[in-house]
């Protein structure tokens, strides 16, 4: 797996990207203005125009500088697993860990920007932006098909369409979980103080794997029907 070197250089471009990343997480893409970014980065507007040309290009570069590494790490993990399997199908757990485990480990990095970036990536599911979604789709184009095929081979008895739906649900669950615990705290009604950055992965990975392995809807209904027939009814 390629090494993740998140060290920031002190140049102007890096300062702008760091400031934009934090502000997009705090305020969203639309509400964050270039003036807010230049103020946080301590640069002038001309610097933003020189390095990026537009706010849209800046947003894309904020994603690209970490997402490129993230997708390379996912593919490297999958390549290693498939090489070890020597042509045999992988286990679903291995595939899930390669795709979702890598970003969850990045999200646990609270010192070098990994946690901030993954919260921003999660925000794309809760704050739609057409050009961001299209950009991310292009970035994932070389990654997702590899993982889909691995899942199809690992779960030959599950219809491909069902696997795609479950993959979609898993993406949403991971993104929502990484985006923060604010919504959960609101629902639960009490403050959740999570000091262990690795706890999210330990909680979420079994949940994702359980969802992937869950019985099909038709099978669940049939099982419930058989159980109901076997259970004697009490007299009224």
Q: In the prediction, which pLDDT does 7 show? A: 39
Residue in this structure with the two tokens 């599950």, named with its chain if needed = 158
* DSSP annotation of 216: P
Sequence-distant (≥ 6) Cβ neighbours of residue 107 within 8 angstroms: 114, 115, 118, 119, 178, 197, 200, 201
Stretch(es) of the chain classified as CATH 1.10.10.60: 10-53
* Cα(134)–Cα(154) distance, integer angstroms: 29
Helix (H) or strand (E) holding 56: helix 55-85
Determine contact, residues 66/113, Cβ cutoff 8 Å. yes
On the question of pLDDT at 228 being above 60, the answer is: no
Stretch(es) of the chain classified as CATH 1.10.357.10: 64-214
- pLDDT band at 80; cut points 50, 70, 90: very high
Q: Please identify, in words, the CATH class of the domain defined by 64-214.
A: mainly alpha
Secondary structure of 98-128 as H, E, C letters: HHHHHHHHHHCCCCCCHHHHHHHHHHHHHCC
Which range, 26-35, 122-131, 221-230, is most confident?
Answer: 26-35
Determine contact, residues 121/178, Cβ cutoff 8 Å. yes
* Cα(18)–Cα(59) distance, integer angstroms: 11
- Select the CATH number that applies to the domain covering 10-53 from these four: 2.60.120.10, 1.10.10.60, 3.40.50.300, 3.50.30.30: 1.10.10.60
pLDDT digits (tens, 9 = 90+) for 164-211: 999 999 988 888 787 665 555 555 555 555 566 678 888 899 999 999
pTM equals 0.75
* Cα(150)–Cα(88) distance, integer angstroms: 10
For residue 60, what are its two tokens? Answer: 């894309």
Q: In the prediction, which pLDDT does 91 show? A: 96
Rg (the chain; Cα; Å): 21
């Amino acid at each position: 797996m390629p090494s993740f070197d998140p060290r920031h250089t002190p140049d102007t471009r890096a300062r702008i990207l760091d400031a934009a990343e934090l502000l997009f997480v705090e305020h969203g893409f639309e509400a964050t203005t270039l003036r807010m970014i230049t103020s946080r980065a301590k640069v002038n507007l001309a610097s933003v125009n020189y390095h990026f040309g537009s706010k849209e290009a800046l947003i894309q570069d904020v994603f690209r500088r970490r997402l490129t590494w993230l997708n390379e790490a996912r593919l490297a993990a999958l390549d290693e697993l498939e090489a070890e399997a020597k042509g045999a199908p992988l286990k679903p757990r291995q595939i899930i860990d390669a795709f979702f485990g890598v970003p969850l480990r990045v999200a646990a990095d609270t010192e070098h920007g990994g946690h901030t970036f993954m919260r921003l990536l999660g925000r794309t599911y809760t704050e739609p932006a057409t050009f961001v979604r299209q950009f991310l789709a292009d970035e994932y184009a070389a990654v997702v098909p590899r993982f889909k095929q691995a899942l199809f081979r690992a779960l030959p008895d599950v219809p491909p369409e069902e696997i795609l739906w479950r993959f979609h649900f898993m993406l949403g669950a991971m993104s929502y979980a990484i985006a923060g615990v604010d919504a959960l705290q609101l629902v639960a009604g009490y403050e959740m103080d999570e000091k262990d950055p690795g706890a999210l992965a330990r909680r979420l990975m079994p949940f994702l794997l359980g969802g992937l392995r869950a019985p099909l809807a038709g099978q669940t209904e049939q099982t419930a029907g058989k159980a109901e027939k076997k259970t004697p009814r009490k007299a009224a």
